[in-house]
Amino acid sequence: MKQSKLFVKSRKEVQSEETSINAQLLLKAGFVDKLMAGVYTYLPLGLRVLDKIKNIVREEMNKAGGQEILMPALTPKEIWVQTNRWENFDALFKLESNNHEYALGATHEEVVTPLLQKFTFSYKDLPQAVYQIQTKFRNEARSKSGLLRGREFSMKDMYSFHTDEEDLNRYYAEMEKVYEKVWERLGIGHITVKTYASGGAFSKYSHEYQTFAPVGEDLVYYCPKCKVAINKEIIEDLEHACPECHGKDLEEKTSIEVGNIFKLMTKFSGACNFNYTAADGSVKPVIMGCYGIGPSRLMGTLAEIYNDANGLIWPKAVAPFQIHLLSLGDRDESVQNEIMSAAQKLYEQLTAAGWEVLWDDRVQASNGEKFKDSDLFGIPLRLVLGKQSLQAQSVEVKLRNQENGESLPISEDLEKKLKEIYNNYAV
RNA sequence: CGGGGUGUAGCGCAGUUGGCUAGCGCGCGUCGUUCGGGACGACGAGGUCGGAAGUUCGAGUCUUCUCACCCCGACCA
């Protein structure tokens, strides 16, 4: 993509009130725009990041046998009354029109349970797992910290349905591995831990996935030996001991909840009378589990963690582009033209080879502006074509997370070299 | 939802004890000069001072109400 055509330029300044790093950087770089508290527009660069996160999540859910569906965001009051959450879920956005009441989906047990009920009759129809990546609405009393806590946000929610608890446990254990794979692919595997949290009425624990970060609004106690954590809310019940090794050597950490998995058991199937016929002819309730991941919150988390004084530093799995190609301006018009045509050629060559390239082809922008934008955007590989490199028939290559780059000759080999450098990119 | 803070040009901000035609920087437009880390000059466009009511000869500035946003706390199924 050519940067001269890019909708939304970066800003030099953003409101000083907005203190969270992710909000500062994402607004400054023009990745998102805020419409109101906790509600954001994803602009072209930001949307590419969000979509990449969603796709990683999607791929892993598919591998785990999940089938993607898309449920409505607009839901009737009645289904929430049935599960007793019309009154009890106080962040529910409610609306009324023509004497009918509705809720905007804050979570989708109320939709998915009757949905599966329609098509599930026998143990032969189980197990089953469906998921969606949907916009969720929660009327948070206090949305905050940029993308970390929105009132409208993206969520992947998967629901699994089983004949019995053993099968749920099997799948639940499988999902733990799947989740770890997702964190790894997103570049936060080393700072994201399974965290014991309250399990509600039906199971002892649920699990959250908490990513360590200074801005995190959660407080967890980390057991370095088991590499798990315990949420503050249940630490008293556990007498400050790790539930796995019972050790008391725990580190207090602030963290961001990026996902959770929860054994719902019969909480919703019971409320909806969702039963199946077993092999022996008996009628039994369906056992459920649910598994959430917040892609928009993850985008905020990554921005929060991966940055420096100059801007964002995206992990390559989610960066909006792989290569940021800068063609510098020069006072000499013929040199300038040469730079532009060399850049054009390189841009076409790399794009044809499958690289995702953002080419800063602006002639009116100053060179300083181009460098600043490049740092701000956080694209892994930066290629610079200027007078110096042109004379040497080379291009300057630098990784976003490294101080110095190197000069590579523009030749048949260039692409292979770039691949090497790119593959060595740390995150 | 409790506490604190902030609303002035597209963006970031200044505006003194109430006083004349409301300023600065960025950005934007035209022209020219620039060109390896957010260049420079000249000229120019751009404002219901968040909203409502009030006090006053006079309100961006004072009072009351209200809305929005940010931060701390509570909440987070």
Report the greatest alpha carbon distance in chain A.
Answer: 86
- What is the CA A158 to C1' B62 distance in angstroms? 58
Residues A314, A399: Cα–Cα separation, whole Å: 11
Q: Distances in Å between the alpha carbon of A298 and those of A84, A186, A207?
A: 30, 9, 17
Beta strands in A269-356 (DSSP E): 275-277, 283-285, 287-293, 307-308, 311-312, 323-327
Q: Distances in Å between the alpha carbon of A237 and those of A233, A241, A294, A421?
A: 8, 9, 28, 50
Using alpha carbons only, give the angle A10, A12, A13 rounded to the nearest 5 degrees. Answer: 115
**What pLDDT score does A201 carry?**
74
Q: What is the CATH number of domain A323-423?
A: 3.40.50.800
Using alpha carbons only, give the angle A417, A421, A427 rounded to the nearest 5 degrees. Answer: 160
**What pLDDT score does A400 carry?**
96
Both tokens of A186, joined, read 């997103």
Per-residue flag: A200 CB under 7 A of strand B: yes
Residues A321, A177: Cα–Cα separation, whole Å: 28
- What is the CA A14 to C1' B47 distance in angstroms? 21
Query: Which nt has its C1' nearest the CA of A405?
Result: B36
Give the domain ranges of chain A: 8-308, 323-423
**What pLDDT score does A338 carry?**
94
**What pLDDT score does A18 carry?**
87
- What is the CA A6 to C1' B14 distance in angstroms? 33
CA atoms within 13 A of residue A145's CA, in its CB half-sphere: 18
**What pLDDT score does A202 carry?**
75
Which H or E element spans position A137?
strand A128-137
- Superfamily, domain A8-308: Bira Bifunctional Protein; Domain 2 (3.30.930.10)
pLDDT in tens, chain A (427 residues): 999 999 999 999 999 888 999 999 999 999 999 999 999 999 999 999 999 999 999 999 999 999 999 999 999 999 999 999 999 999 999 999 999 999 999 999 999 999 999 999 999 999 999 999 999 999 998 999 999 999 999 999 999 999 999 999 999 999 999 999 999 999 999 999 999 999 877 788 999 999 999 999 999 999 999 999 999 999 999 999 999 999 999 999 999 999 999 999 999 999 999 999 999 999 999 999 999 999 999 999 999 999 999 999 999 999 999 999 999 999 898 999 999 999 999 999 999 999 999 999 999 899 999 999 999 999 999 999 999 999 999 999 999 999 999 999 999 899 999 999 999 887 7
**What pLDDT score does A406 carry?**
94
Residues A340, A329: Cα–Cα separation, whole Å: 9
Give which of A43, A49, A117 is closest to A269, Cα–Cα.
A117
CB A361 within 8 A of CB A327: yes
Strand B, CB < 7 A, residues 293-332 of A: 310, 328-331
Per-residue flag: A376 CB under 7 A of strand B: yes
Residues A100, A79: Cα–Cα separation, whole Å: 13
- What is the CA A302 to C1' B57 distance in angstroms? 60
Strand partners, A326: A360, A384
Q: Give the ipTM of the model, two decimals please.
A: 0.95
**What pLDDT score does A427 carry?**
78
Residue A230 main-chain phi, psi, to 5 deg? -125, 130
Neighbours of A315 (CB within 10 A): 22
**What pLDDT score does A93 carry?**
96
> Is the peptide bond prior to A127 cis by the omega test (within 30 degrees of 0)?
yes
- What is the CA A360 to C1' B1 distance in angstroms? 48
Query: Which nt has its C1' nearest the CA of A146?
Result: B70
- What is the CA A366 to C1' B12 distance in angstroms? 21
**What pLDDT score does A279 carry?**
97
- Whether pTM exceeds 0.90: yes
- Burial of A367 by CB count in 10 Å (0-12 exposed, 13-18 middle, 19+ buried)? middle
CB A133 within 8 A of CB A105: no
Per-residue flag: A217 CB under 7 A of strand B: yes
Q: Which amino acid is at A240?
A: H
Per-residue flag: A262 CB under 7 A of strand B: yes
